[in-house]
Amino acid sequence: MEALRVEGLSKDFGGVQAVQNISFSLEVGERIAIIGPNGAGKTTLFNMLNGQLSPTAGRMFLFGQEITAMATYRRAHLGQARSFQLISLFPGLTVFHNLLLALHGTKPSRLGMFRSTTDYGNIVAKAEDLLHSMGLWERRNDPMRTISYGEQRKVEIALSLASEPRMLLLDEPSTGLSAAESKEIVDMIRDLGLDITVLLVAHDMDLVFGVAERIMVLHYGQIIADGTPRKIQADSKVREIYIGIE
């Protein structure tokens, strides 16, 4: 079954063609990585998939439904979630409340105005599970800004998993992490169920090869290669871009 389909997607920033006529489709359960040099258009593509940027041309379909002009929050309700390259958490709130916020996000309880947010038993239970699995139970009442960068990265991903998404967009999930910490992220992603489709943007080749079964290479806003990791490694165009630049 098709999870995500993109047709002729383009983004033009008044003269700069960040993304040019991109088309691809992902099956449910696939693990795909998008790689490419800086400025290739990866984040622009993600921002369009997420709804933060509107495309200049093209269409997008999530689980068969057209989402081209759909607001970001509605895409979340369709099962899409996204993590951010620049850690996008709520620094003034505690770790616990960060998780609660994320967990309420796609539930009707998010508009609840009378009961305390900690009163919703099953949501609190899930938050506690997440805290335990990330080893952050002891820090649960600390303000988010006081926990380490590596831990914040884990929370960043945990927040996007909170809504039990079917389509997960991970934007440079291992940015700023040590090799050991990146390995933890790889394991985290590998542990995800096959009902979740994962699309990630990354520079970290260990992460890419550890997770992806299919790689798309972006260059100047266009997909110049699309295939298994082996095929991509052997592709001459790809080698030219990476080695040419390095």
Partner 1 sequence: MSRGPGRRAVIGYLVSSAPYITGALAFVLSPLLLPTYLQSMLTKVLIFSIFAMSLNLLWGYTGLIVFGHAAFFGVAAYTNGILITRYGIESFWLAAPIAILITVLVAAAFGFIALQASGTYFSFITLALGLLVYSAASKWRSMTGGHDGLIGIPLPDLGLPWFTTWNATYFYFFVFLAFAVCFFLLYRLASSPFGYALQGIREDEPRMRSLGYNTWLHKYIAFVIAGLFAGIAGVLYSHLMRAVFLNFVGMLTSFLAVFITVIGGSGVIFGPVVGSIIIIFLEYFSSLYAPERWPLILGIVFVIVMLFLREGVSPYLVRVWKKVIPIWKP
Q: Is 138 in the site for partner 1 (CB under 8 A)?
A: no
Among 101, 147, 161, 188, interactor with partner 1 by CB under 8 A:
101
Q: How far apart are CA 20 and CA 30, in angstroms?
A: 24
The stretch near partner 1 (CB under 8 A) out of 25-33, 103-111, 129-137, 199-207 is: 103-111
Choose between 141 and 236: whose C-beta lies nearer to partner 1: 141
| CB neighbour list of residue 44: distance below 8 Å, 6 or more residues apart | 11, 18, 19, 53, 221
Q: Which of 8, 13, 92, 190 binds partner 1 (CB under 8 A)?
A: 92
Query: Tokens 């927040």 label which residue?
Result: 159
Q: Does 243 bind partner 1 (CB under 8 A)?
A: no
Phi, psi of 9, rounded to the nearest 5 degrees: -75, 130
Instruction: Scan residues 18-57 and list those touching partner 1 (CB under 8 A).
Output: 50-52
111 binds partner 1 (CB under 8 A): yes
122 in contact with partner 1 (CB under 8 A): no
- Residue 50 exposure: Cα atoms within 13 Å on the Cβ side: 19
Rank residues 8 and 92 by Cβ distance to partner 1 and give the closer one.
92
- Residue from 31, 42, 104, 219 binding partner 1 (CB under 8 A): 104
Proportion of the chain in helix, strand, coil states, percent, rounded to 5:
40, 25, 35
Per CB under 8 A, 88 contacts partner 1: yes
**Angle at Cα 151 formed by Cα 43 and Cα 163, nearest 5°?**
60
- The helix or strand, by DSSP H or E, that contains position 100, with its residue range, turns out to be helix 95-104
Question: Which residues bind to partner 1, rule: CB under 8 A?
Answer: 50-52, 71-73, 76-77, 81-82, 84, 88-93, 97, 100-102, 104-106, 109-118, 120, 141, 159-160, 162-163
